[in-house]
Chain A
Amino acid sequence: MKLFAFLRGKWLFLLASLFTALFCGLLLTALGADLYAALFVSDVFVLGLLAGLLLEYLQKRRFYQELEKTLDELDKKYLLPNLLDEPDFPEGRLCWRALSEAGKSMSDEVAACRRAQEEYRDYVETWVHEVKTPIASALLLAENHPGEVSDLMAGELHRIDELVEQSMFYARSRHVEKDYLLRRVTLSELVSSALRRSARLLIESRAAVERENLALPAAADQKWIDFILTQLLTNSVKYAQGSLRVRFAGSEEPECVVLTVSDNGPGIPPEDLPRVCEKGFTGQNGRSGSRSSGMGLYLCRELCGKMGVGFSVSCPPEGGTSVQLRFPRSSLIEGVCYETVRKP
């Protein structure tokens, strides 16, 4: 706070005081006092006034400068009241208390929202696990009693299962840090696991699978990558034209190990490409014919983001769509990873 600004804030008081000094001087002169004596009294009055204001300014300046500086430097502005000392002048104290109260009430509000969100997430998670049992029952019912209707039903049940899975990963993608477990795996393990899961879908669509150079190590949560690769494979099948070929290829970059998943589908129109990972974006392919919720790629990118895996979609000139997953090779992750007990 500059002195000038401070004084400007006090202009009414200053004006009134000057007026009073003038009035006193005039009054003293009118009462027959000596002109010099009247001037002297007025001057003393004005000087005392200015000294008082200067002292007040110095006192407040410390607090306001601290306030401005902290506010400027602070990343999370709501922490402001916690970082300021309580000032020693009444208006300042009032401000400080108001700030503290507002901050406290806001953090209560945020905590309540966070709790509600966490509860909702837990509910979704529980619901998903509960609904898996009836899906398993229905699927087994369909498979135990084969027939044309049962086969169709089984197909639909698989789709339901996949959508249910998607909702769970959506809930997890909101706050996830506790939900995943990084392990050292090879790209080949990641790809095989996803292919086993999507076997039915890919076999039914008569897809041909190519795998190349997948013996590279990566740090990842297998279940998450399963989900992500399943989303990509589902997309490839959904938009396939003619006989589908899916290719998984591993490669190395200085900072990361790259898994490229590409297909020979229609690709993505260039004008849609920058937006395909946005939530709810359906694009030209999504609108023409096939169902698209605009959630698949969005979720893939979100989940990869949480795991620190790079995710990018491109359309190579030779056609089709190509998705790259970049697993970082940082020493930090190397340290965090550990081998778990393999299944018997």
Chain B
Amino acid sequence: MAKLVLVEDDAVLRRELKLLLETYGYACAAPACFTEMPEAILRESPDLVLLDLTLPGKDGYSICRELRLKSSVPVIVLTSRDTEADELLSMNFGADDFIAKPFNRQILLAHIAVILRRSGLQARVMTRRGVSFDPERASVSYEGREIELTKNEGKILALLFRSAGRTVSREELMNELWQSDEFVDDNTLTVNMNRLRRRLEEIGVVDFLVTRRGKGYEI
């Protein structure tokens, strides 16, 4: 299980983010005291750091820079300052990614997953009920048979796998596609879903993708 450290001074946001991350299967430490940064972060030996920029005392930029001197742990900066200049500045201080508040939680989760996968800390392949899915290659395998999916089908399945056990609404699925620049409409999504189901059936995966009428889809 990947371990994240969340550095955020707003108590409610800290609590809710921790809840979100834990729900999605990450271990999450969220210190409430910021005097000993970045040592306190390093003590947790995290796989990824979520760092707010405006903190009491030392600001996020200095923490990020000092962290970089001692460790190469990936850092995602969470901030409300989102001009082009701020973004550049964060990158110069060694941040790996930049997410503006308020953030869409699926986007945040997707960014975390990409970075963890890239640093080899999260298994690339996700498995549910015997069906394995590799989001990088967009390939599904089941009982020794494997198929390649299209980009859109891969994106849809990635979100469903990330939210395994929960119902995902059509809006969320469309949003996921939109966030990767596939600006599909409702009909296209229906076509994509039907095709995805057929593709899964080709390798013997049936009744895997369940429709919850009026609510969405679930695996």
A: which residues have CB within 8 A of B?
Answer: 128-130, 132-137, 139-141, 143-144, 157, 161, 179-181, 183, 192, 195-196, 199-200, 202-204, 206-209, 211, 221-223, 340-341, 343-344
Partner of A157, one of B19, B102, B103, B175: B102
Say yes or no: A133 contacts B13, CB within 8 Å: yes
B207: A residues at CB distance < 8 A: none
Say yes or no: A203 contacts B91, CB within 8 Å: no
Say yes or no: B80 contacts A196, CB within 8 Å: no
Task: Count how many pairs of residues, one from A and one from B, have CB atoms less than 8 Å apart in the complex.
Answer: 94
Give the distance in Å from the alpha carbon of A132 to the alpha carbon of B10 in the complex. 11
Residues of A contacting B: mostly: helix
Partner of A341, one of B81, B82, B88, B181: B88
CB distance from B170 to the nearest CB of A (A): 9
Say yes or no: A135 contacts B102, CB within 8 Å: yes
From residue 85 to 129 of chain B, which have CB atoms closer than 8 A to chain A? Answer: 85, 87-88, 91, 96-98, 101-105
Of all chain A residues, which has the CB nearest B81? A129
Say yes or no: B97 contacts A344, CB within 8 Å: yes
How many of chain B's residues touch chain A, expressed as a range? Answer: 35 or more
If A157-B102, A192-B181 are given as contacts, then 13 extra A-B residue pairs at C-beta distance below 8 Å, sorted by A number, are: A130-B80, A137-B10, A140-B17, A143-B20, A144-B20, A180-B83, A181-B84, A183-B84, A196-B179, A199-B179, A203-B171, A204-B171, A221-B84
Say yes or no: A137 contacts B12, CB within 8 Å: yes
A161: B residues at CB distance < 8 A: 102
B186 within 8 A of A: yes
Of all chain B residues, which has the CB nearest A172? B83
CB distance from A271 to the nearest CB of B (A): 34
Q: A135-B101, A144-B20, A344-B96 are in contact. Are A195 and B178 (CB under 8 A)?
A: yes
Say yes or no: B178 contacts A132, CB within 8 Å: no
B192 within 8 A of A: no
Partner of A343, one of B10, B85, B98, B178: B98
Q: What are 25 residue pairs bridging A and B, where the CB atoms are less than 8 Å apart in the complex?
A: A132-B101, A133-B80, A133-B101, A134-B10, A134-B12, A136-B80, A137-B12, A140-B102, A141-B12, A144-B19, A144-B105, A161-B102, A180-B83, A195-B178, A200-B104, A202-B178, A203-B171, A203-B178, A206-B186, A207-B185, A209-B185, A223-B82, A341-B91, A343-B91, A343-B98
